Amino acid sequence: MKAMRIGGKLRRLRQEQRLTQAQMARELGISASYLTLLESNQRPVTVRVLLKLVERFQVDLQDFAADTDQRLSLELMEAFSDPVFEGAEVKNTDVQELVSLLPAVGRAVIDLYEAYRRHLPADAASTAGEDASESAPVTIPSEEVTEFIQKRFNYFPDLEDAAEQLWHENELSVHTLQQGLTGVLRRRYATEVEVRPAEAMNGRSRHYDQLRRRLEISEMLPLSSRIFQIAHQIAYLGHHDMLDQIAAEGRFTSSDAEALMRTALANYFAAAVMMPYRLFLDAASATRYDIDVLKNRFGTSFEQACHRLTTLRRPGAEGVPFHFIRVDIAGNISKRFSASGIHIARFGAACPRWNVYDAFSTPGMLRVQLSRMPDGATFFCIARTTSRAAPLSPASGLGHRMSQRAIGLGCDVRHAGDIVYADGYNLADPQLAMPIGVSCRTCPRTDCTERAMPSLFQKLHIDENVRGPSTYVQA
């Protein structure tokens, strides 16, 4: 277990319980002086004390997890990298102290910064020499949904149970899943499935006609996507109340965010139906997370298999904790989740050294990278591009084009030995680790030739007589 320092959270818990340090120490079976050291973060918490916290105060250990503090620290550093804070000269140590002692205040700062960005006029979003169209996007409903999924560790047990029940009650099989799910729609919901010509779909991939009780699917979708859309529709028809209940827990700020959350939950259910938890976990373990084998065995796409790997968080039956990122060729991050501990940029562009961007230079080829963050944390990452045809839109007169995205999947290097792609890779060789960061503004590396903007950690000194590795780094 990583050394966890929970001083701020422990002190806040004690204050909420209205206990003195002496009283709290007695409850935990430790001395008052040791509690003082814990609250001041001079000592890491032990497993015994954590178990006592669970026993005496019914705390959720996820609330005390060290990675939540790290994530908050990185989000704060991202926020403070905004030029609006340029005169504040906030140091990394300041942020660490804030997160350690007053995490609720740190979270409030993030919320305030997001509210500021939401109300920022488009013409004010640009900085000197930067076009507003290139500025980091303001907070949108998808960001709220992503944060809710991250807080739930991308695991929704009620949906997993519902998917397993669907399998059990209908005796489904991986190799006949489309026929089985089509039969479920017909028998349970009096709904027929029709694969329709692309020109009749008017650019849509799926359309559910409520009056005629008919699910129309574009012929442009591959088989894996057709099955996914059928399972997605079953989620809405058979488990709408469950979707509403889980979405309500997010306390989203808009109806758009709630609707988007329900869509994400229906997608989660569809993936759980296509790749049942126990079957998929056993196959992943047996094949050592060979994604090509998994996607062929379960009839899914590469992206579907990768995303499903991030959801294997059932207590007592966990898979390798992965992070997942999906980007387009312009660098836009359209999906992100991290259980590995790596931080993925929220407010700006990510590091161009990530292999997920290198994947575009070798379409269809799997790229492997040992990635090392500035704090020394190292991750084993794989990436590959995927292509799909956009549905035909007759109005455009242009037919359809292949859109290309890159999928990145990775884990802490400690788990790399469980991954087939790490075979033959000398994980202990420091020369093989690619130095990466979260973003240019929050990265302290001074020798990066790909730096696109100055670092928050160093003052910018420009010497017109010297050219360093980049414009913002002097030799």
Note the pLDDT tens digit of each residue in 180-224: 999 999 999 999 999 999 889 988 999 999 999 999 999 999 999
* Strand-pair partners of 410: 323, 381
CB neighbours of 379 closer than 8 A, spacing ≥ 6? 323, 340, 341, 342, 370, 371, 372, 373, 410, 411, 412, 413
Q: What is the pLDDT of residues 320-378, one digit of tens each?
A: 999 999 999 888 888 999 888 888 877 666 788 999 999 999 999 999 999 998 888 89
What are the residues facing 314 on neighbouring strands? 317
Amino acid occupying residue 393: S
Residue scoring higher pLDDT (63 or 46):
46
3-class SS of residue 286: helix
pLDDT tens digit sequence for 53-75: 888 888 776 666 655 666 777 77
Greatest mean pLDDT range, 143-152, 292-301, 392-401, 442-451: 292-301
- Tell me the CATH architecture of domain 320-435: 2-Layer Sandwich (3.30)
- At 275-304, the pLDDT tens digits run 999 999 999 999 999 999 999 999 999 999
What's the CA gap between 299 and 293, in Å, rounded? 10
Q: Which fold has domain 157-314?
A: Arc Repressor Mutant, subunit A (1.10.10)
Question: Are residues 411 and 322 in contact, defined by beta-carbon separation less than 8 angstroms?
Answer: yes
Distance CA 196, CA 160 (A): 31
pLDDT at residue 399 tops 60: no
Pairing status of strand 333-338 against strand 433-435: unpaired
Residue 136: per-residue pLDDT: 41
Contact predicate 302/146, CB 8 Å: no
Q: Tell the burial category of 87 from Cβ atoms under 10 Å away from its Cβ (0-12, 13-18, 19+).
A: exposed
Which residue stretches of 317-452 are H helix? 355-358
Mean pLDDT score of the chain:
84
192-196 vs 322-328, strand pairing mode:
unpaired
Give the fold, CATH level 3, of 7-64.
Answer: 434 Repressor (Amino-terminal Domain) (1.10.260)
Q: Domain locations in the chain?
A: 7-64, 157-314, 320-435
